[in-house]
Amino acid sequence: MNAQVPVGYAATALADSDPRRAEALILLRLAAGMIQASERGRSGFALLAAAVHENRRFWRAAAQDLAGDGNGLPQALRAQLLSLAQFVERETGRVLDGSGDAGALIEINRSIARGLFEQPG
């Protein structure tokens, strides 16, 4: 990843001052949780299930916000992000039923986070 991820106090201060960066940090934390669980293989399935569920909760909340009338993002971007949220929902089901892995979910989070970090403040 190209973005430098702040840690500790710097991350907290940065997140407090810029909601986009706060969302990026959340997405990266969720991706890290899925990576760590995935690396355990079959013995880490319970951890993976918890990690993808937590990720799904984030994306459901994001979808609810995106669908709301008060969301200020351009309509086309909102539609694209809502489409991603639907994909996350389907892909999470595949991970949980054992027919998929978390790779696509991890990549989505990383890509969106990268874009959020690159946006000017």
Q: How many domains does the chain have?
A: 1
Q: Residue 111 domain-assigned?
A: yes
Q: Residue 24 domain-assigned?
A: yes
3 secondary structure, DSSP code:
S
Residues counted in the chain: 121
Residue 86 in contact with residue 100, Cβ under 8 Å?
A: no
Q: Residue 97 domain-assigned?
A: yes
Q: Residue 114 domain-assigned?
A: yes
Assess whether pLDDT exceeds 50 at residue 5: no
Alpha helices (H) along 1-121:
8-17, 19-38, 45-67, 75-96, 103-118
Q: Residue 12 domain-assigned?
A: no
Q: Residue 38 domain-assigned?
A: yes
Assess whether pLDDT exceeds 50 at residue 18: yes
pLDDT at 86: 98
Rounded to whole angstroms, how far apart are CA atoms 103 and 91?
Answer: 10
Q: Residue 14 domain-assigned?
A: no
Give the residue numbers spanning the domain of 96: 19-118
